[in-house]
């Protein structure tokens, strides 16, 4: 039973990286964090399937407005696939729908099949997924016997390294674009090998800039709350965007941001922007995040993405 709330919970603004346990949905983790911290608003940036574990970015209060900057970030997973068995959900939670012979599959063949998926490829989203059809999640329709197949979409596998082969199991690490389904990748690998496959284990070890080194478990979070020490694990909003261009506002600019006034390159020189991003974080004299702006070269103005001034 959770009995304590974080002191000053209404002032908690930032990111908690949670090491999601198996058997809990991402929404379930958000609910626990909300009860523990007493925060008014809590959300996550990137769903993990209930059976999966690892990095789940949880945004607290005002930081929920920053989730967009991590939702489409690069992800890295440690996974284990099982060759010779295909399931309807493409993972270990599903019902077996096909089996195949693995006795003649070589390690070099496995390596070649998996390497062939590196780069840009098309994936058919699984029918058991949180994607929606006419407002209804696909997995709910599939459970009712009404499977809906979404059209294929492009994803990118940046890196895929085999860690261990102990047939019928293959352990590997994969770094990929947002929206990539690792269970679909496993199924596609099995079909390429001609024996079928499904995902047995999945652990997200990095999401955007956040890794397992940043993460805490829910039990550790509870201890931090009870000790009044949650601030030690909360990543501040400005710190959570380390790769974004940065500008420190003076009083005049701070007042303009506070009232949502037009900001031009006379207020913030366009030269502060980096080529990698069109976004700019503006800090006050205490290095707190005031606003995230987007520069529009044609108008030489900045538009507001989100403002906390």
Strand duo 169-176 + 153-166: pairing: antiparallel
8 Å CB contact between 234 and 12: yes
DSSP class of 90? S
CA separation, residue 206 to residues 54, 57, 76, 134, 215 (Å)? 8, 10, 5, 32, 10
N-terminal to C-terminal alpha carbon distance within the chain: 37
Residues annotated as catalytic are: 49
Per-residue tokens: 125 = 């989203």
CA distance 302 to 257: 11
CA distance 247 to 238: 11
Per-residue tokens: 13 = 């603004």
- Among residues 271, 209, 273, 197, which one has the least CA distance to residue 240? 209
Q: Residue 54 forms beta bridges with which residues?
A: 20, 204
**Sign, CA torsion 133/135/138/141:** negative
């Amino acid at each position: 039973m959770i009995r304590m709330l974080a002191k000053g919970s209404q002032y908690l603004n930032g990111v908690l990286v949670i090491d999601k346990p198996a058997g809990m949905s991402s929404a379930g983790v958000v609910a626990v964090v909300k009860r523990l911290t007493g925060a008014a608003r809590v959300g996550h940036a990137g769903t993990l399937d209930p059976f999966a574990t690892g990095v789940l970015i949880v945004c607290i209060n005002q930081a929920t407005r920053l989730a967009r900057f991590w939702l489409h970030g690069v992800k890295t997973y440690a996974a284990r696939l099982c060759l010779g068995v295909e399931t309807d959900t493409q993972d270990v939670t599903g019902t077996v729908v096909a089996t195949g012979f693995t006795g003649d599959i070589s390690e070099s063949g496995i390596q070649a099949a998996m390497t062939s998926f590196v780069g840009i490829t098309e994936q058919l989203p699984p029918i058991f997924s949180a994607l929606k059809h006419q407002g209804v999640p696909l997995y709910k329709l599939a459970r009712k016997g009404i499977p809906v197949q979404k059209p294929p979409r492009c994803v990118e596998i940046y890196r895929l390294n085999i860690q261990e082969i102990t047939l019928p199991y293959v352990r590997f690490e994969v770094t990929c674009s947002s929206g990539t389904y690792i269970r679909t990748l496993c199924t596609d690998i099995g079909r390429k090998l001609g024996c079928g496959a499904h995902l047995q284990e999945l652990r997200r070890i990095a999401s955007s800039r956040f890794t397992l080194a940043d993460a805490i478990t829910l039990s550790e979070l509870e201890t931090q709350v009870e000790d009044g020490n949650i601030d030690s694990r909360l990543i501040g909003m400005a710190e959570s965007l380390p790769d974004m261009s940065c500008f420190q506002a003076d009083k005049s600019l701070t007042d303009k941001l506070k009232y949502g006034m037009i900001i031009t390159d006379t207020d913030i020189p366009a030269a502060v922007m980096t080529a990698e991003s069109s976004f700019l974080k503006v800090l006050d004299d205490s290095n707190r995040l005031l606003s995230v702006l987007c520069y529009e070269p044609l108008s030489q103005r900045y538009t507001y993405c989100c403002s906390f001034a």
